Structure 1
Amino acid sequence: MTPNAASAGPSRRSFLASTAVATAAVAGGMPLLAACGGGQDGRKEGATSGKDAQRLLPAFVASSVVAPDIPAKNGSAAGFTKAIPTAELKTSVPKKLGSGGRLKIMSPFWGTPPKNDNPYYTAMNEAIGVEVTWQNQDGVTYDQKLGAVLASSDIPDVVVVPGWNLMGRIPSAINAKFADLGPYLSGDKVKDYPNLAAVPTEAWQRGIFGGQLRAIPMPGSYVTDIAPMYRRDLFEKKGYSVPKSPDEFLSWAKEATDAKSKVWACDDMKWSAFNFFGAYPGSDKALWWNMRDGKLVNRIETEEYLEALEWTRKLYAADVVHPDAVSGKAGGDARNRFTAGQVLVYNGNISGWWGSVSEQATQDSDFDMAAFDIFGPDGGDPTLWAVQPANIFTFVSKKASEQQIKDFLAVCNFCAAPYGTKEFMLTAYGVEGTDYDMKKGLPVKSQQGVNEVNGAFDYTGNPAPYVAYPDFPDVTRGIVEWQQRMGAFTKKTSFFGLTVTEPSRWSNLADDFEQLEDDVVRGRKKISDVQQAVSDWKKKGGDDLRDWYKKLLDDTGSAK
Structure 2
Amino acid sequence: MDNTLDRRALFRGALGVAAASLLTACGGGSPSGGGVSNAGKQLVPWPAYVPFAGPKPDAPGDDTGVQPLYLKYPETLVQSVNDTVGDGSKVTALVVTYGPPPTPVAQNRYWQAINKALNVDLQVTVVPDPEYGQKMTTLMASGSDLPDIIMFTNLALPHSLEFIQARCADLSEFIGGDAVKQYPNLANIPAYAWKGMGRVSGKLYGVPLERPTPANSLFVNRTAMDEAGIPKTWTTEQYLEAMKELSAARKWGLGWYKTLFGGLGAVTYHAGSLGAPNTWSLADGRFTTTLATPQFEQALDVMRKLAEAKSVHPDSLTVSSTDMQTYFHNGTVASVQDGFGSMSPTTLTKINDRFELDLGHPYGPDATPWQGPGMFGYVTFKKAAPERIKMLLRISDYLSAPFGTKEYELANYGVEGVHFTKDGDGIKTLDLFQTENNNTLPFRYLGAAPSVLYLPGHPRTAQATYDWQKATLPRSVANPANGLRSATSVSKGAAMNQIMGDGIAAVVFGRKPLSAWKDIVTQWRNAGGDQVARELAEEHAATQ
Q: Deviations over 1:187-218 (max 9, x none)?
A: 11111111111111121221523321111101
Does the CA-based 8 Å contact 2:8-2:340 persist in structure 1? no
Mean Cα deviation higher: 295-304 or 407-416: 295-304
1:298 offset after TM fit, Å? Answer: 0.7
The 3 A distance-change label for structure 1 pair 29 and 531 is: same
Distance in 1 of aligned mates of 2:381 and 2:199: 13
Identity across aligned pairs (percent)? 25
With structure 1 as the length reference, what TM-score do the two structures score?
0.84
**Deviation of 1:417 (Å):** 1.1
- CA displacement, residues 129-149 of structure 1 (integer Å, 9 cap, x when unaligned): 333222233333122222222
Q: Matches of 1:136 and 1:212 in 2, distance apart?
A: 28
Task: Give, in angstroms, the shift of residue 155 of structure 1.
Answer: 0.6
Contact 1:37 1:506 in 2 (8 A): no
State the alpha-carbon separation in 1 of the partners of residues 35 and 494 from structure 2. 15
Is the 2:84–2:118 Cα contact (8 Å) retained in structure 1? yes
Q: How does 1:50-61 map to 2 (within 5 A)?
A: 52-53=42-43, 55-61=44-50
After superposition, give the CA deviation of every residue in 1:74-96 in whole Å (9 maximum; x if it has no partner): 112222221234xx221111222
Q: Distance in 2 between matches of 1:139 and 1:127?
A: 28
Q: Secondary structure at the match of 2:401?
A: coil
Which secondary structure state, in structure 1, belongs to the residue aligned with residue 538 of structure 2?
A: helix
Task: List gaps (5 residues or longer) in structure 2.
Answer: 257-265
Equivalent runs, 1:183-222 vs 2, <5 Å: 183-205=173-195, 206-222=197-213
Structure 1 residue 549 corresponds to structure 2 residue 536: yes
- Using the TM superposition, name which of 435-444 and 100-109 deviates more: 435-444
Letter paired with 1:280: P
1:468 aligns with 2:441: no
* CA displacement 1:266-323 (0-9 Å, x = unmatched): 3346432122112234xxxxxx332247743111111111111012111211222232
How far off its partner does 1:27 sit?
A: 10
2:105 corresponds in structure 1 to 116
Match of 1:274 among 264, 271, 279: 271
**1:212 alignment partner AA:** K
How far residue 52 of structure 1 moved from its aligned partner, in angstroms, is: 4.7
Instruction: Name the CA distance, whole Å, in 2 between partners of 1:173 and 1:28.
Output: 23
Give the equivalent residue in structure 1 for 2:137: 147
Q: Which runs of 5+ in 1 are unaligned?
A: 1-8, 16-24, 282-287
Alpha carbons of structure 1 residues 157 and 360: separation in structure 2 relative to 1, 3 Å: closer
User: Aligned pair 1:416/2:403, yes or no?
Assistant: no
- SS for the counterpart of 1:466 is coil
For 1:168 and 1:135, the matched residues in 2 are separated by 22
**Equivalent in 372, 377, 389 of residue 374 of structure 2:** 389
- CA contact 1:14–1:26 (8 Å) conserved in 2: no
Cα distance 1:540–1:429, how it changes in 2: closer, same or farther (>3 A)? closer
1:147–1:169 Cα contact (<8 Å) kept: no
- In the other structure, the counterpart of 2:165 is 175
After superposition, the Cα gap between the structure-2 partners of 1:457 and 1:185, relative to the gap in structure 1 and judged at 3 Å, is same
Contact 1:381 1:489 in 2 (8 A): no
CA deviation vs aligned residue, 1:374-414 (integer Å, no higher than 9, x gap): 132xxx2412333211121111012x221211111111111
Quick one: distance in 1 between partners of 2:233 and 2:424?
A: 39
Distance 2:134 2:495 in 1: 21
Equivalent position amino acid for 1:396 in 2? F
Question: What's the counterpart of residue 375 of structure 1?
Answer: 363
2: CA distance, partners of 1:401 / 1:46 = 23
Alignment partner of 1:236 is 2:222: no
How much has 1:525 moved relative to structure 2? Answer: 1.2
Find the partner of 1:336 among 304, 326, 329.
326
Deviation at 1:500, TM superposition (A): 4.7
| Cα shift at 1:456 | 3.2
The one-letter amino acid of 1:176's match is A
Q: Please say if 1:137 is aligned against 2:127.
A: yes
The worse-fitting range, judged by mean Cα deviation, of 122-131 and 139-148 is 122-131
Q: Give SS of 2:315's match.
A: helix
Answer yes or no: is 1:529 the counterpart of 2:516.
yes
Corresponding residue to 2:472 among 475, 482, 486: 486
Shift of 1:41: 6.5
TM-score (norm 2): 0.87
Contact 2:359 2:468 (C-alpha < 8 Å) held by counterparts: yes
Matches of 2:539 and 2:42, distance apart in 1: 13
Name the Cα RMSD after superposition: 2.8
Distance 1:233 1:330, change over 3 A: same
The reply to whether residue 70 of structure 1 matches residue 70 of structure 2 is no
Determine the C-alpha separation between the residues in 2 that align with 1:452 and 1:95. 26
For the residues of structure 1 that align with 2:543 and 2:378, how far apart are their CA atoms? 22
Question: Are the structure 2 counterparts of residues 160 and 234 from structure 1 closer, same or farther at C-alpha, using a change threshold of 3 Å?
Answer: same
Q: Partners in 2 of 1:121 and 1:42 — Cα distance?
A: 44
